Amino acid sequence: MGMIYLQRGNQEAQEVNVPAWVSCYLGVTEPAIFGVTLKNFFPFICAMSGSACAAIVCVSTGTTANAIGVGGIPGILSMQATSMPTFALAMLVAIVVPFILTVAVGKKKGVDKAAKIAQQEAEMVAAAEAANAEAEANLVSENEFKAYLDGEVISLKEIGDGVFSEGMVGDGLAIKPANETVCAPVSGKITVLMQDSKHAVGMTLSNGIEILIHVGIDTVSMQGDGFEYLCKVGDVVKAGTPLLKFSKAKIKAAGHPDTAVFVVTNPNGIDTFKFISGMKAKTGSTVIATY
C-alpha cells in the first residue's frame, strides 16, 4: 500500500502493486514479496518491522486462535471470540506501521519523485513520437539535395579509396569540409546511426530513397573519438538541420582524410540522379544533386 502511494504516478508499477496488495491482504503474500517489496528491498524491511510490532501486540495481549486458518485480514475468522478485538488491533498495527515506514523511507530515497519523473519522461517521449509522426506525415518529397557541409565538392572517383570511389555503396559525391557540422541535405527521417563510431548518418526520404553521409575515410577505427551526434534514430528533420559534429584536427591526427561522402544507398527505382561536383559549396544553399 505504501508503494502504491509512492508510485501513484507510475502506471507500469501500479499494474504490479495493486494486484499484489489485494492478494496480500487476502493472505497470499508471494506476489507482494517477490513483485514489490524484495524488488525494492526497503519496503521488505519496513513490512517486517510492522509485522514485528503486530506480533508484540498479539503476544502481550494473549491473542489466540482456534486453529491455523486463512492468512491476512480474513485470519480474524480463525481467532477465538475473545481475541478478535486484539487481533484486529494487531492487524491495524501490521497495516499502518509498514505504510508509514515505507512512505517515510521511500520519500527520503526519492521514490515518489522518481515516479513523477518517469511519468514526465513518458509524456515527453509520447509527445516527441507524436510530433515525429506528424512531421513524417507532412514530409514533402524534394527533388534536390543541398550541401551538407561548406567546402569543395568532388566526385566519388576523386576519393580513391576503392570502396566509395568505385560506387560499391552507391552513387554520390563528396565534400572536402571547411567546417565541422554536418547538416541534413534534404528533409527526411533519421534511420541509421553508428553508435560506436558516430561517423555516419543514414536518412530515408518520404518517397523511400535512402541516403548515407559518411564523415572521413576509415574513421570507423576512431571509435567515436572526435564525433558527436546531434540527432537520434526516428527523428524527422528538415533540410539544414544539424546532424553530426566532428573534429577535423582529430581526424587528421588519426591519419585519415576528412572527406565527407554522400551516397544514395537505395534509389528506390529512381534512375534520374544528377550529382554536381567541381565547385565550392555552402551548407544549406548550394544544390549538389537533383533527380
- Give the full edge-to-edge strand order of the sheet including 227-229: 181-183, 242-246, 227-229
Q: How buried is residue 76: exposed, middle or buried, by Cβ count under 10 Å (0-12/13-18/19+)?
A: middle
Joined together, the cell numbers standing for residue 233 give 534514430
* 211 neighbors 265 (Cβ within 8 angstroms): yes
- Interior angle at CA 177, CA 173 and CA 183, nearest 5: 75
- Give the separation between CA 46 and CA 98, rounded to whole angstroms: 5
Question: Which residues face 144 on adjacent strands?
Answer: 290
User: Catalytic one among 214, 216, 222, 260?
Assistant: 214
CA 125 to chain centroid, in Å, comes to 8
Say whether 243 sits in a helix, a strand or coil. Answer: strand
- Reply yes or no on whether 214 is catalytic: yes
Contact 180, 150 (CB under 8 A): no
Sign of CA dihedral 197, 198, 203, 209: negative
C-alpha cell at 240: 539544414
DSSP secondary structure code for residue 35 in this structure? I
Amino acid letter, residue 252: K
Of the CA atoms within 13 Å of residue 57, those in its CB half-sphere come to: 19
Residues labelled as active-site residues: 214
